[in-house]
């Protein structure tokens, strides 16, 4: 299916319109930090009503009720699905608990949006996709950065042939010191990995989307742990992480090969000895190149090498604003059959790349992606 660019400003304006009619009833599974982002965004969509919340922790259930006024609260999503019968389910659990509620929700006849990364491995992703397809329900992944105006600008330029064939993309999601000191981000059995699967996934997904979503065929990479599993006295924004349960990598470097001959390199770290945090991708094409932040295009025109910067690409670039855009697209897909910008197949492709880097690091060689 052909991809279509998103007008981020127009999507945000749609949210402000008054809605009359039957509302789209949504349940939240996992009431932690990211659920608060979902709730803030969903409250800006007048056709949506959040009707239930699910979490295994009583304190989160209580806080969810007090903050948002949701009264139907459960510890078991299966019981919630049976009693509430929502139209859609937003899965905001840790990575290791993405697949099960997504599959159960689809089987119960619900549309699903699942936070990134899609799951723990490609096999889980395939079961999630299959369940939604069998039920005839919409399924999308919470990849908000493909809605960012910088991404949309570069994608429009690529669609118009500005860059020719994309040969190489370099992705960087690097923190100088940013190991999460909350949640279970340091526990591999619950998250599947560290910075590669947690923050690298964002830059990887938007770069792959920009490239036109070529099919990955091989991966190589390595991972290192050198700081997160030790106590630290270094002053930082997020001190006192749980180093005793830290089993993920600090730094991951990977390279992906695609069927069209293109290469993508990705660097992701929670703790890198660099000047400052980096969140970017750059690329080289046969007719031009560019970068995401600040958005720029490097090309030749009128026998002159030009560096081009856009005057304006759109205003919806804040993290919370991107959540509104991705949830708006999901709701429109469910209610109006609009094209989903981040369908399950996109999540599967990204998961295969993440999985490939981790498998290569374990094997010590390049691995095949099927």
Identify the pLDDT of residue 42. Answer: 98
Do residues 210 and 95 share a domain?
no
CATH of the domain at 94: 3.40.50.720
Q: Is residue 212 part of a domain?
A: yes
Q: Is residue 244 part of a domain?
A: yes
Evaluate whether 11 touches 328 at the Cβ level (below 8 Å): yes
Average pLDDT over residues 299-306: 97
Q: Is residue 129 part of a domain?
A: yes
Do residues 309 and 327 share a domain?
no
Q: Is residue 214 part of a domain?
A: yes
Q: Find the distance separating the first CA and the last CA of the chain, reported in whole Å.
A: 20
Do residues 264 and 357 share a domain?
yes
Identify the pLDDT of residue 284. Answer: 98
Do residues 155 and 230 share a domain?
yes
Do residues 139 and 163 share a domain?
no
Do residues 235 and 125 share a domain?
no
Average pLDDT over residues 175-197: 96
Closest CA to 252 of 91, 121, 361, 159: 361
Identify the pLDDT of residue 251. Answer: 98
Identify the pLDDT of residue 259. Answer: 98
Under 8 Å CB-to-CB from 95, ≥6 apart: which residues? Answer: 117, 119, 120, 190, 191, 192, 197
Average pLDDT over residues 215-240: 97
Identify the pLDDT of residue 17. Answer: 59
Average pLDDT over residues 281-302: 98
CATH of the domain at 209: 3.30.360.10
Do residues 110 and 208 share a domain?
no
Identify the pLDDT of residue 15. Answer: 42
Average pLDDT over residues 232-244: 96
Identify the pLDDT of residue 13. Answer: 42
Do residues 310 and 219 share a domain?
yes
Q: Is residue 344 part of a domain?
A: no
What are the pLDDT digits (tens) for 148-167?
A: 999 999 999 999 999 999 99
Q: Is residue 2 part of a domain?
A: no
Do residues 109 and 195 share a domain?
no
Label residue 15 exposed, middle or buried (CB < 10 Å: 0-12, 13-18, 19+): buried
The residue segments making up the domain with residue 309 are 149-315+349-368
Do residues 185 and 252 share a domain?
yes
Do residues 161 and 296 share a domain?
yes
What are the pLDDT digits (tens) for 240-281?
A: 999 999 999 999 999 999 999 999 999 999 999 999 999 999
Measured distance CA(168)–CA(170) in Å, rounded: 7
Q: How many domains does the chain have?
A: 2
Q: Is residue 3 part of a domain?
A: no
Confidence of residue 1 (pLDDT cuts 50, 70, 90): very low
Identify the pLDDT of residue 12. Answer: 42
Identify the pLDDT of residue 63. Answer: 96
**pTM above the 0.85 mark?**
yes
What are the pLDDT digits (tens) for 72-123?
A: 999 999 999 999 999 999 999 999 999 999 999 999 999 999 999 999 999 9
Measured distance CA(346)–CA(165) in Å, rounded: 21
Residue 129 predicted with pLDDT over 80: yes
Q: Is residue 310 part of a domain?
A: yes
**What's the mean per-residue pLDDT of the chain?**
95
Average pLDDT over residues 132-148: 98
Measured distance CA(62)–CA(65) in Å, rounded: 5
Do residues 301 and 181 share a domain?
yes
């Amino acid at each position: 299916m052909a991809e279509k660019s998103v007008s981020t400003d127009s999507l945000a304006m749609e949210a402000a319109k008054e809605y009359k009619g039957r509302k789209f009833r949504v349940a939240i599974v996992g009431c932690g930090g990211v659920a608060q982002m979902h709730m803030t965004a969903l409250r800006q969509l007048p056709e949506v009503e959040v009707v239930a919340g699910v979490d295994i922790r009583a304190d989160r259930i209580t806080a969810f009720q007090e903050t948002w006024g949701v009264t139907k609260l459960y510890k078991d999503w299966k019981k919630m699905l049976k009693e509430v019968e929502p139209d859609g389910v937003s899965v905001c659990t840790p990575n290791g608990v993405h697949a099960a509620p997504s599959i159960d929700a689809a089987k119960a006849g619900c549309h699903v949006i699942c936070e990134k990364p899609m799951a723990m491995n490609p096999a889980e992703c395939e079961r999630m996709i299959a369940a939604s397809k069998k039920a005839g329900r919409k399924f999308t992944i919470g990849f908000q950065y493909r809605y960012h105006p910088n991404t949309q600008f570069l994608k429009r330029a690529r669609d118009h042939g500005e860059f020719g064939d994309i040969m190489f993309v370099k992705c960087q999601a690097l923190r100088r010191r940013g190991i999460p000191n909350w949640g279970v981000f340091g526990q591999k059995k619950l998250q599947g990995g560290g910075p590669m699967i947690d923050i690298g996934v964002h830059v990887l997904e938007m770069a792959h989307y920009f490239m036109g979503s070529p099919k990955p065929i091989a991966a190589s990479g390595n991972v290192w742990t050198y700081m997160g599993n030790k106590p630290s006295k270094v002053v930082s924004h997020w001190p006192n992480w749980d180093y005793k349960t830290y089993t993920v990598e600090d730094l991951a470097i990977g390279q992906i090969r695609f069927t069209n001959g293109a290469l993508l390199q990705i660097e992701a770290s929670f703790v890198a000895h660099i000047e400052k945090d980096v969140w970017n991708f750059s690329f080289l094409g046969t007719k031009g190149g560019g970068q995401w932040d600040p958005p720029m295009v490097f090309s030749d025109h009128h026998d002159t090498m030009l560096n081009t910067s856009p005057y304006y690409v759109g205003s919806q670039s804040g993290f919370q604003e991107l959540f509104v855009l991705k949830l708006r697209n999901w709701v429109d897909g469910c209610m109006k059959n609009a094209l989903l910008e981040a369908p399950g197949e996109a999540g599967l492709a990204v998961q295969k790349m993440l999985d490939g880097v981790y498998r290569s690091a374990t094997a010590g060689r390049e691995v095949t992606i099927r």
